[in-house]
Protein backbone atom coordinates (compact mmCIF):
# COMPACT_ATOMS: atom_id res chain seq x y z
CA UNK A 1 0.00 0.00 0.00
CA UNK A 2 1.51 3.29 -1.12
CA UNK A 3 1.87 6.23 1.22
CA UNK A 4 -0.63 9.10 0.81
CA UNK A 5 0.75 12.14 -1.06
CA UNK A 6 2.39 14.80 1.04
CA UNK A 7 0.37 17.98 1.40
CA UNK A 8 1.63 21.48 2.03
CA UNK A 9 0.62 22.78 5.45
CA UNK A 10 0.30 19.28 6.98
CA UNK A 11 2.03 19.75 10.34
CA UNK A 12 1.87 16.06 11.20
CA UNK A 13 4.24 15.17 8.35
CA UNK A 14 6.08 18.48 7.83
CA UNK A 15 9.78 18.55 8.61
CA UNK A 16 10.61 21.99 7.19
CA UNK A 17 9.20 25.48 7.71
CA UNK A 18 9.70 27.88 4.83
CA UNK A 19 9.41 31.48 6.03
CA UNK A 20 8.61 34.03 3.31
CA UNK A 21 9.77 37.35 4.76
CA UNK A 22 9.12 40.60 2.87
CA UNK A 23 10.97 43.90 3.06
CA UNK A 24 7.91 45.44 4.70
CA UNK A 25 8.07 42.97 7.62
CA UNK A 26 5.52 40.35 6.60
CA UNK A 27 6.51 36.89 7.89
CA UNK A 28 4.58 33.95 6.38
CA UNK A 29 5.19 30.37 7.50
CA UNK A 30 4.64 27.42 5.18
CA UNK A 31 4.91 23.89 6.62
CA UNK A 32 6.61 21.85 3.93
CA UNK A 33 8.55 18.63 3.35
CA UNK A 34 12.24 18.31 2.62
CA UNK A 35 11.48 15.45 0.21
CA UNK A 36 9.39 17.77 -2.03
CA UNK A 37 11.72 20.75 -1.65
CA UNK A 38 14.92 18.81 -2.39
CA UNK A 39 13.36 17.12 -5.42
CA UNK A 40 12.13 20.32 -7.06
CA UNK A 41 14.62 23.01 -5.96
CA UNK A 42 18.39 23.07 -5.97
CA UNK A 43 18.18 26.15 -3.75
CA UNK A 44 16.37 24.28 -0.97
CA UNK A 45 18.51 21.20 -1.52
CA UNK A 46 21.59 23.29 -0.74
CA UNK A 47 19.95 25.10 2.19
CA UNK A 48 18.86 21.82 3.80
CA UNK A 49 22.13 20.00 3.22
CA UNK A 50 24.75 19.42 5.87
CA UNK A 51 27.06 21.68 3.91
CA UNK A 52 24.90 24.71 4.71
CA UNK A 53 26.30 26.11 7.98
CA UNK A 54 23.40 28.25 9.18
CA UNK A 55 20.32 26.02 8.86
CA UNK A 56 17.94 27.04 11.66
CA UNK A 57 15.66 24.88 13.75
CA UNK A 58 12.12 26.17 14.38
CA UNK A 59 9.32 24.31 16.15
CA UNK A 60 11.43 21.10 16.01
CA UNK A 61 11.72 21.49 12.23
CA UNK A 62 14.34 22.81 9.87
CA UNK A 63 13.68 26.44 8.93
CA UNK A 64 14.61 28.17 5.67
CA UNK A 65 14.04 31.89 5.31
CA UNK A 66 13.38 33.37 1.89
CA UNK A 67 13.66 37.14 1.58
CA UNK A 68 11.63 38.98 -1.08
CA UNK A 69 9.95 42.30 -1.80
CA UNK A 70 6.32 42.89 -0.90
CA UNK A 71 5.37 42.87 -4.60
CA UNK A 72 6.96 39.42 -5.01
CA UNK A 73 5.28 37.85 -1.98
CA UNK A 74 2.41 36.13 -3.81
CA UNK A 75 4.78 34.75 -6.44
CA UNK A 76 6.99 33.03 -3.86
CA UNK A 77 4.00 31.57 -2.01
CA UNK A 78 2.54 30.28 -5.29
CA UNK A 79 5.87 28.72 -6.30
CA UNK A 80 5.95 26.63 -3.13
CA UNK A 81 2.35 25.56 -3.62
CA UNK A 82 2.89 24.65 -7.28
CA UNK A 83 5.65 22.14 -6.59
CA UNK A 84 3.13 20.16 -4.56
CA UNK A 85 0.78 19.90 -7.54
CA UNK A 86 0.90 16.84 -9.80
CA UNK A 87 0.09 18.99 -12.82
CA UNK A 88 1.05 22.61 -12.12
CA UNK A 89 -0.86 24.96 -14.44
CA UNK A 90 0.44 28.43 -15.24
CA UNK A 91 -2.87 29.52 -16.78
CA UNK A 92 -4.27 29.81 -13.27
CA UNK A 93 -2.19 32.95 -12.81
CA UNK A 94 -2.29 34.67 -16.22
CA UNK A 95 0.65 36.26 -17.99
CA UNK A 96 1.89 38.68 -15.36
CA UNK A 97 1.26 36.23 -12.52
CA UNK A 98 3.25 33.57 -14.36
CA UNK A 99 6.04 36.06 -15.02
CA UNK A 100 6.31 36.65 -11.27
CA UNK A 101 6.33 32.90 -10.64
CA UNK A 102 9.07 32.48 -13.24
CA UNK A 103 11.26 35.04 -11.45
CA UNK A 104 10.72 33.31 -8.12
CA UNK A 105 11.34 29.83 -9.57
CA UNK A 106 14.57 31.01 -11.19
CA UNK A 107 15.78 32.42 -7.87
CA UNK A 108 14.84 29.20 -6.06
CA UNK A 109 16.49 27.14 -8.84
CA UNK A 110 13.34 25.19 -9.73
CA UNK A 111 14.31 24.21 -13.27
CA UNK A 112 11.20 22.13 -14.07
CA UNK A 113 8.78 24.85 -12.96
CA UNK A 114 10.87 27.52 -14.72
CA UNK A 115 10.62 25.52 -17.95
CA UNK A 116 6.83 25.23 -17.60
CA UNK A 117 6.54 29.00 -17.03
CA UNK A 118 8.80 29.71 -20.00
CA UNK A 119 6.75 27.49 -22.32
CA UNK A 120 3.53 29.15 -21.16
CA UNK A 121 4.76 32.73 -21.57
CA UNK A 122 6.25 31.99 -24.98
CA UNK A 123 2.99 30.54 -26.30
CA UNK A 124 0.18 32.79 -25.01
CA UNK A 125 -0.94 36.24 -26.25
CA UNK A 126 0.20 39.37 -24.39
CA UNK A 127 -1.23 42.84 -24.11
CA UNK A 128 0.84 46.01 -24.31
CA UNK A 129 1.45 46.15 -20.54
CA UNK A 130 2.57 42.51 -20.57
CA UNK A 131 5.11 43.34 -23.28
CA UNK A 132 6.54 46.21 -21.24
CA UNK A 133 6.96 43.92 -18.22
CA UNK A 134 8.60 41.23 -20.35
CA UNK A 135 11.11 43.69 -21.76
CA UNK A 136 12.03 44.90 -18.28
CA UNK A 137 12.38 41.49 -16.63
CA UNK A 138 13.33 38.72 -19.09
CA UNK A 139 16.66 40.20 -20.34
CA UNK A 140 17.93 40.17 -16.72
CA UNK A 141 17.21 36.47 -16.21
CA UNK A 142 19.75 34.93 -18.55
CA UNK A 143 20.02 33.77 -22.18
CA UNK A 144 18.05 30.53 -21.62
CA UNK A 145 14.87 32.59 -21.19
CA UNK A 146 15.29 34.92 -24.17
CA UNK A 147 13.15 32.71 -26.39
CA UNK A 148 10.16 34.20 -24.54
CA UNK A 149 10.94 37.49 -26.31
CA UNK A 150 11.12 36.01 -29.82
CA UNK A 151 7.96 37.87 -30.90
CA UNK A 152 9.52 41.20 -29.86
CA UNK A 153 12.83 40.84 -31.63
CA UNK A 154 13.50 43.08 -34.68
CA UNK A 155 12.09 41.68 -37.90
CA UNK A 156 14.35 40.56 -40.72
CA UNK A 157 14.33 43.41 -43.31
CA UNK A 158 13.77 40.89 -46.10
CA UNK A 159 10.63 39.63 -44.35
CA UNK A 160 9.36 43.21 -43.92
CA UNK A 161 9.81 43.77 -47.64
CA UNK A 162 7.87 40.60 -48.47
CA UNK A 163 5.02 41.56 -46.14
CA UNK A 164 4.87 45.08 -47.54
CA UNK A 165 4.77 43.88 -51.15
CA UNK A 166 2.03 41.32 -50.43
CA UNK A 167 -0.02 43.84 -48.47
CA UNK A 168 0.36 46.55 -51.12
CA UNK A 169 -0.81 44.17 -53.85
CA UNK A 170 -3.83 43.33 -51.75
CA UNK A 171 -4.60 46.96 -50.88
CA UNK A 172 -4.61 48.01 -54.54
CA UNK A 173 -6.67 45.06 -55.78
CA UNK A 174 -9.63 47.20 -56.79
CA UNK A 175 -12.28 46.13 -57.47
CA UNK A 176 -12.36 43.20 -55.05
CA UNK A 177 -15.93 41.88 -54.61
CA UNK A 178 -14.85 39.54 -51.80
CA UNK A 179 -13.50 42.34 -49.61
CA UNK A 180 -15.49 45.08 -47.91
CA UNK A 181 -14.12 48.59 -48.36
CA UNK A 182 -13.92 49.13 -44.57
CA UNK A 183 -11.74 46.04 -44.21
CA UNK A 184 -9.46 47.13 -47.04
CA UNK A 185 -9.11 50.54 -45.35
CA UNK A 186 -7.77 48.79 -42.26
CA UNK A 187 -5.10 47.06 -44.34
CA UNK A 188 -4.21 50.35 -46.00
CA UNK A 189 -3.80 52.06 -42.61
CA UNK A 190 -1.32 49.41 -41.54
CA UNK A 191 0.70 49.89 -44.73
CA UNK A 192 0.85 53.62 -43.97
CA UNK A 193 2.10 52.72 -40.49
CA UNK A 194 4.96 50.72 -42.00
CA UNK A 195 6.05 53.86 -43.84
CA UNK A 196 5.63 56.24 -40.90
CA UNK A 197 8.73 57.64 -39.23
CA UNK A 198 8.96 56.92 -35.52
CA UNK A 199 11.72 58.10 -33.18
CA UNK A 200 14.27 56.12 -35.20
CA UNK A 201 13.18 55.33 -38.76
CA UNK A 202 10.29 53.74 -40.68
CA UNK A 203 10.10 49.95 -40.85
CA UNK A 204 10.35 50.08 -44.63
CA UNK A 205 13.57 51.77 -45.74
CA UNK A 206 12.97 52.68 -49.37
CA UNK A 207 15.91 54.84 -50.33
CA UNK A 208 17.72 51.96 -52.03
CA UNK A 209 14.92 49.41 -52.06
CA UNK A 210 14.47 48.95 -55.80
CA UNK A 211 12.38 45.80 -55.33
CA UNK A 212 9.67 47.61 -53.35
CA UNK A 213 9.61 50.58 -55.71
CA UNK A 214 9.33 48.32 -58.75
CA UNK A 215 6.43 46.43 -57.18
CA UNK A 216 4.67 49.66 -56.16
CA UNK A 217 5.07 50.97 -59.70
CA UNK A 218 3.62 47.75 -61.14
CA UNK A 219 0.61 47.73 -58.75
CA UNK A 220 -0.17 51.39 -59.45
CA UNK A 221 -0.09 50.73 -63.21
CA UNK A 222 -2.47 47.78 -62.85
CA UNK A 223 -4.86 49.85 -60.73
CA UNK A 224 -4.90 52.77 -63.19
CA UNK A 225 -5.32 50.43 -66.18
CA UNK A 226 -8.36 48.89 -64.47
CA UNK A 227 -9.74 52.34 -63.70
CA UNK A 228 -9.26 53.46 -67.30
CA UNK A 229 -11.07 50.39 -68.55
CA UNK A 230 -13.87 50.98 -66.06
CA UNK A 231 -14.63 54.61 -67.00
CA UNK A 232 -14.49 53.81 -70.72
CA UNK A 233 -16.53 50.60 -70.67
CA UNK A 234 -19.05 51.92 -68.14
CA UNK A 235 -19.38 55.29 -69.87
CA UNK A 236 -22.90 56.63 -69.32
CA UNK A 237 -23.80 53.80 -66.92
CA UNK A 238 -23.11 54.39 -63.24
CA UNK A 239 -21.64 51.61 -61.11
CA UNK A 240 -21.28 53.67 -57.97
CA UNK A 241 -19.79 50.99 -55.74
CA UNK A 242 -16.92 50.24 -58.11
CA UNK A 243 -16.38 53.93 -58.79
CA UNK A 244 -16.16 54.65 -55.07
CA UNK A 245 -13.69 51.80 -54.55
CA UNK A 246 -11.50 52.91 -57.45
CA UNK A 247 -11.43 56.55 -56.38
CA UNK A 248 -10.77 55.69 -52.71
CA UNK A 249 -7.91 53.36 -53.65
CA UNK A 250 -6.34 55.88 -56.03
CA UNK A 251 -6.52 58.62 -53.39
CA UNK A 252 -4.85 56.29 -50.90
CA UNK A 253 -2.19 55.40 -53.48
CA UNK A 254 -1.48 59.12 -53.92
CA UNK A 255 -0.80 59.40 -50.19
CA UNK A 256 1.61 56.46 -50.35
CA UNK A 257 3.35 57.70 -53.50
CA UNK A 258 3.83 61.11 -51.90
CA UNK A 259 5.69 59.45 -49.02
CA UNK A 260 7.76 57.42 -51.47
CA UNK A 261 8.47 60.41 -53.72
CA UNK A 262 6.90 58.46 -56.59
CA UNK A 263 3.99 60.66 -57.69
CA UNK A 264 5.50 60.59 -61.18
CA UNK A 265 4.04 57.07 -61.45
CA UNK A 266 0.48 58.38 -61.34
CA UNK A 267 0.53 61.99 -62.61
CA UNK A 268 0.96 61.30 -66.37
CA UNK A 269 -1.82 58.68 -66.29
CA UNK A 270 -4.17 60.98 -64.39
CA UNK A 271 -3.45 63.79 -66.86
CA UNK A 272 -4.18 61.53 -69.83
CA UNK A 273 -7.40 60.27 -68.22
CA UNK A 274 -8.62 63.67 -67.04
CA UNK A 275 -11.03 64.31 -69.91
CA UNK A 276 -12.50 60.79 -69.66
CA UNK A 277 -12.92 61.16 -65.90
CA UNK A 278 -14.71 64.51 -66.14
CA UNK A 279 -16.90 63.24 -68.99
CA UNK A 280 -17.82 60.11 -67.02
CA UNK A 281 -18.85 62.10 -63.94
CA UNK A 282 -20.78 64.66 -66.03
CA UNK A 283 -22.66 62.04 -68.03
CA UNK A 284 -23.41 59.70 -65.12
CA UNK A 285 -26.31 60.90 -63.02
CA UNK A 286 -26.34 60.30 -59.30
CA UNK A 287 -22.60 60.25 -58.58
CA UNK A 288 -22.15 60.70 -54.83
CA UNK A 289 -20.91 64.09 -53.78
CA UNK A 290 -18.27 62.41 -51.60
CA UNK A 291 -16.83 60.69 -54.69
CA UNK A 292 -16.61 64.02 -56.50
CA UNK A 293 -14.73 65.51 -53.56
CA UNK A 294 -12.26 62.62 -53.59
CA UNK A 295 -11.66 63.24 -57.28
CA UNK A 296 -10.89 66.85 -56.35
CA UNK A 297 -8.43 65.70 -53.69
CA UNK A 298 -6.63 63.38 -56.11
CA UNK A 299 -6.41 66.20 -58.64
CA UNK A 300 -5.05 68.51 -55.94
CA UNK A 301 -2.20 66.09 -55.24
CA UNK A 302 -1.48 65.81 -58.96
CA UNK A 303 -1.45 69.60 -59.37
CA UNK A 304 0.82 70.05 -56.35
CA UNK A 305 3.34 67.56 -57.75
CA UNK A 306 3.39 69.47 -61.04
CA UNK A 307 3.56 72.93 -59.46
CA UNK A 308 6.45 71.92 -57.17
CA UNK A 309 8.39 70.55 -60.14
CA UNK A 310 8.35 67.00 -58.78
CA UNK A 311 6.78 65.81 -62.04
CA UNK A 312 7.67 67.45 -65.37
CA UNK A 313 4.99 67.69 -68.06
CA UNK A 314 5.07 69.32 -71.51
CA UNK A 315 3.46 72.76 -71.66
CA UNK A 316 0.62 71.55 -73.87
CA UNK A 317 -0.29 68.92 -71.25
CA UNK A 318 -0.31 71.56 -68.54
CA UNK A 319 -2.59 73.73 -70.68
CA UNK A 320 -5.01 70.86 -71.32
CA UNK A 321 -5.05 70.02 -67.63
CA UNK A 322 -6.09 73.57 -66.69
CA UNK A 323 -8.78 73.77 -69.37
CA UNK A 324 -10.28 70.43 -68.31
CA UNK A 325 -10.25 70.77 -64.54
CA UNK A 326 -10.89 74.47 -63.84
CA UNK A 327 -14.53 74.33 -65.10
CA UNK A 328 -15.11 71.08 -63.19
CA UNK A 329 -13.68 72.54 -59.99
CA UNK A 330 -15.85 75.64 -60.37
CA UNK A 331 -18.96 73.46 -60.65
CA UNK A 332 -18.04 71.39 -57.58
CA UNK A 333 -17.25 74.52 -55.59
CA UNK A 334 -20.66 76.01 -56.38
CA UNK A 335 -22.29 72.77 -55.21
CA UNK A 336 -20.33 72.91 -51.96
CA UNK A 337 -21.44 76.46 -51.26
CA UNK A 338 -25.07 75.69 -52.13
CA UNK A 339 -25.26 72.50 -50.07
CA UNK A 340 -23.00 73.80 -47.26
CA UNK A 341 -21.17 70.47 -47.26
CA UNK A 342 -19.76 69.47 -43.88
CA UNK A 343 -16.85 67.44 -45.30
CA UNK A 344 -15.47 70.43 -47.16
CA UNK A 345 -11.77 70.82 -46.33
CA UNK A 346 -10.64 74.42 -46.80
CA UNK A 347 -6.93 73.60 -46.83
CA UNK A 348 -7.26 71.23 -49.80
CA UNK A 349 -9.00 73.89 -51.86
CA UNK A 350 -6.50 76.56 -50.87
CA UNK A 351 -3.57 74.34 -51.84
CA UNK A 352 -5.31 73.44 -55.08
CA UNK A 353 -5.86 77.10 -55.96
CA UNK A 354 -2.20 77.91 -55.25
CA UNK A 355 -1.12 75.02 -57.47
CA UNK A 356 -3.39 76.20 -60.30
CA UNK A 357 -1.94 79.72 -60.15
CA UNK A 358 1.60 78.31 -60.15
CA UNK A 359 0.94 76.03 -63.13
CA UNK A 360 -0.79 78.79 -65.14
CA UNK A 361 2.23 81.04 -64.56
CA UNK A 362 4.51 78.46 -66.25
CA UNK A 363 2.64 78.67 -69.57
CA UNK A 364 3.28 81.04 -72.44
CA UNK A 365 1.55 84.43 -72.22
CA UNK A 366 -0.78 83.48 -75.09
CA UNK A 367 -1.92 80.32 -73.31
CA UNK A 368 -2.19 82.16 -70.01
CA UNK A 369 -4.41 84.69 -71.77
CA UNK A 370 -6.55 81.87 -73.17
CA UNK A 371 -7.14 80.42 -69.71
CA UNK A 372 -7.81 83.83 -68.17
CA UNK A 373 -10.28 84.73 -70.93
CA UNK A 374 -12.27 81.56 -70.26
CA UNK A 375 -12.12 82.24 -66.53
CA UNK A 376 -13.42 85.80 -66.95
CA UNK A 377 -16.28 84.42 -69.04
CA UNK A 378 -17.29 81.82 -66.40
CA UNK A 379 -20.09 82.21 -63.88
CA UNK A 380 -17.91 81.62 -60.83
CA UNK A 381 -14.94 83.97 -60.53
CA UNK A 382 -14.51 83.31 -56.82
CA UNK A 383 -12.92 79.90 -57.40
CA UNK A 384 -10.28 79.54 -58.42
CA UNK A 385 -9.40 83.15 -57.77
CA UNK A 386 -6.99 83.88 -60.63
CA UNK A 387 -6.55 87.60 -59.90
CA UNK A 388 -2.96 86.95 -58.89
CA UNK A 389 -2.36 85.07 -62.17
CA UNK A 390 -3.96 87.97 -64.07
CA UNK A 391 -1.68 90.49 -62.32
CA UNK A 392 1.35 88.37 -63.25
CA UNK A 393 0.15 88.17 -66.85
CA UNK A 394 -0.31 91.97 -67.08
CA UNK A 395 3.13 92.61 -65.61
CA UNK A 396 4.84 90.12 -67.92
CA UNK A 397 2.98 91.36 -70.97
CA UNK A 398 4.30 94.87 -70.35
CA UNK A 399 7.77 93.96 -69.09
CA UNK A 400 8.32 91.46 -71.90
CA UNK A 401 7.65 94.17 -74.46
CA UNK A 402 10.20 96.46 -72.82
CA UNK A 403 12.77 93.69 -72.39
CA UNK A 404 12.45 92.46 -75.95
CA UNK A 405 12.69 96.06 -77.20
CA UNK A 406 15.96 96.61 -75.31
CA UNK A 407 17.28 93.27 -76.50
CA UNK A 408 16.58 94.17 -80.15
CA UNK A 409 18.25 97.57 -79.60
CA UNK A 410 21.33 95.92 -78.14
CA UNK A 411 21.50 93.45 -81.01
CA UNK A 412 21.10 96.18 -83.58
CA UNK A 413 23.77 98.28 -81.91
CA UNK A 414 26.13 95.37 -81.82
CA UNK A 415 25.49 94.63 -85.48
CA UNK A 416 26.25 98.23 -86.46
CA UNK A 417 29.47 98.19 -84.46
CA UNK A 418 30.59 95.03 -86.14
Q: Is the pLDDT of residue 119 over 60?
A: yes
Contact between residue 356 and residue 386 where contact means Cβ atoms under 8 Å apart: yes
User: Please, are residues 247 and 298 in contact by the beta-carbon 8 Å criterion?
Assistant: yes
- Residue range 311-328: mean pLDDT, rounded: 94
Tell me the angle at which helices 346-360 and 387-417 cross, rounded to the nearest 10 degrees.
Answer: 20
Q: What is the pLDDT of residues 11-41, one digit of tens each?
A: 999 999 999 999 999 999 999 999 999 999 9
Q: What is the pLDDT of residues 372-406, one digit of tens each?
A: 999 998 887 788 999 999 999 999 888 877 766 65
pLDDT tens string 296-310: 999 999 999 999 999
Of the pLDDT bands very low, low, confident and very high (cuts 50, 70, 90), residue 287 is confident
pLDDT band at 415 (very low <50, low <70, confident <90, very high): very low
DSSP letter for 184, please: H
Q: What is the pLDDT of residue 239?
A: 77
The Cα 42–Cα 163 span in angstroms is: 46
Which residues, listed in sequence order, are joined to residue 63 by a DSSP beta bridge? Answer: 17, 56
The counts of H helices and E strands in the chain are 16, 4
What are the C-alpha distances in Å from 344 to residues 91, 263, 333?
52, 24, 10
Omega before 111 cis (within 30°)? no
Cα-based distances in Å from 174 to 67, 164, 244, 249, 298: 64, 17, 10, 7, 16
- Does the pLDDT value for residue 201 go beyond 70? no
Q: What letter does residue 26 receive in the DSSP assignment?
A: -
pLDDT value at 283 more than 70: yes
Burial 221-258 (b: 16+ CB within 10 A, else e): eebbebbbebbeeeeeebeeebbbbbbbbbebbbebbe
Q: pLDDT: is 179 or 263 the higher one?
A: 263
Rounded Cα distance, 168 and 236, in Å: 31
Euclidean distance between CA atoms 364 and 316, whole angstroms:
10
How high does pLDDT run on average in the chain?
85
Residue 250 bridge partners (DSSP) = none
Amino acid sequence: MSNPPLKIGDRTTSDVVVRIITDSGRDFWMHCHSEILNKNSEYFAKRLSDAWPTCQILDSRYCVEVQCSESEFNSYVNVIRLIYSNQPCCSWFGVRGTLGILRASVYLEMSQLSSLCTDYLESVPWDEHDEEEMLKIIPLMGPQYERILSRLRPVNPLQITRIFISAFRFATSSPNPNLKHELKSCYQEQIEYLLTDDDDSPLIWLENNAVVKLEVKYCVKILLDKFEGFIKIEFGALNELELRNFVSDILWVCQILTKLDMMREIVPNWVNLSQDIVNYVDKSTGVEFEIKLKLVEITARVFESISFGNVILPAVKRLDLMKIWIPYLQTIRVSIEEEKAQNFEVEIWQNLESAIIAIVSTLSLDWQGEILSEWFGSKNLTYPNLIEAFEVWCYRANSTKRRLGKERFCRNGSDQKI
